[in-house]
Structure 1
Amino acid sequence: MSKPEPGPRTVLITGAGEGLGYETARLLVAGNHHVVVHGRTADQADYAVERLVKDGTDPLRLDVAVADFTDFRQVATMAHLVGEAHRRLDLLVNNAAVAGPETRELTVDGHEVTWQVNYLAPYLLTTMLTGPLANARRGRVVNVSSPLHARANLEPADLAETRRYLRHAAYARSKLALTMFTKALTLYGPTSLTAVSVHPGILDTALLGTYSEIGLHPSEGAHVVAQLCTQATVINGGYYNDRALPYRPAACVEDLGAVQRLWKASAHQTGMG
């Protein structure tokens, strides 16, 4: 178990321009935290901040960060700028995600889009921010996962998914990798860092099509994510369901050999090792 720092904290939320990320930002900034709002574009991030300020948020408690996760250079630049602006980062919420295209597409870095946006980019961002997270002494990473992760398989020899591409399968495997990354952070991250993954529920966002045709308002899921961000203690490396309760993840999440192999492959794919 680990407890976060008391009092207001500095929080970076990816994909905070809309949907679950925006609603989570709204809740955390209302809790007197300083929130860094990430958007894929500057216009998206700025518009989110404008909406928050219009709702009564003190603009001095908001910052913006911009990066298109299909480009590692933008992610690295964003991590550098956030680290320069915030020597201490108490909380990182890896929320940004895409459902993926109908047919296989590659990013400028040569990776399948869903794999890079939903997993490799969060891996790169998190590892580049371990310094500021460690400076918080009790920093926390919250990875937004999905129960679909339990239906996925990772083939170490074909992480690029060149043999066969199915949109829903690509999404599921990206969430499996992110959930395994949560466990990996307990092994390879700073000793002071706590990491959890959480399924926020089936929500009416751009990702709804991967689950169902009906979903709850994103604010419902935001309460779940915000609870995992702020509650006094969490299980380090734990996976939580849409009621913010510990839940058993896919078996390979607990397979430390598989976690280690994924960590090494991710470091290679992102140029971090």
Structure 2
Amino acid sequence: MSSYTTFAQYYDELTQNVKYSERAEYFCGLLKSLSHSPGLVLDLACGTGSLTLQLKQRGLDVYGADASFEMLSIAQQKAADAEQQILFLCQSMQKLDLYGTVDTVICALDSINHLTTEKDVLAAFRRVSLFLNPGGYFLFDMNTQYKHREVLADHVFVYDTKHVFCVWQNQFEEKTDRVSIDLDFFEKEGAVYHRSSEHFYEKAYSNDIIKELLHTAGLSFVACYDDCSFLPPQPNSERVVIVARKEPTTETEKER
């Protein structure tokens, strides 16, 4: 799995269309609909910390973890600029090792898709389960198989922003629902352009597989929604939100 060393410096500029404020509001509303007090929250695979910061500014006690040091450097600076104290840990999803337990885990913007084997997804789910308090919720979203087959597919996307020109090339593997992604960045330096590249894979998983992996990890599948809604997914949904829970096992835990 890529550490997104090159991608990190361009990530925010290339994701300006992501409405982090609306996504934060949605997750807060989803937790409210579950009658769940967020408590201590982990933003898993937090990237450059945009969602982490939005959650923090809404009063949540949140910290972030990501495998990319470069992404976290940007996240830390972003939090400092906003005069917010947020802890960021450089840890992968599969090897998550927290100082203690949390009440809520949020993993947004298709981070699970960057785990390209069921073994890795299960490892991540098991680490979440280990550090999630009984009665706690795990909320995450994923790109769907439809998006991989019809939207990403073998298509090429071009982004021309203020500071960088990016060519995004996909190669779809039909048997695995995996997409090979090549990013080429061109940044102008004086009279010439400097080129840098990033390569990684994303894989789509069916809900049935996700349910099975959650169960194996000791988590219960609660619900699946179309992206940022409380409606069921449609055949052409490009992203879904999964709600999972670590069930209480004792009467005392059930009363919490």
With structure 2 as the length reference, what TM-score do the two structures score?
0.49
Larger helix proportion of the pair: 1
Which structure ranks higher in relative contact order (CA pairs < 8 Å, sequence separation ≥ 6)? 1
Larger radius of gyration: 2
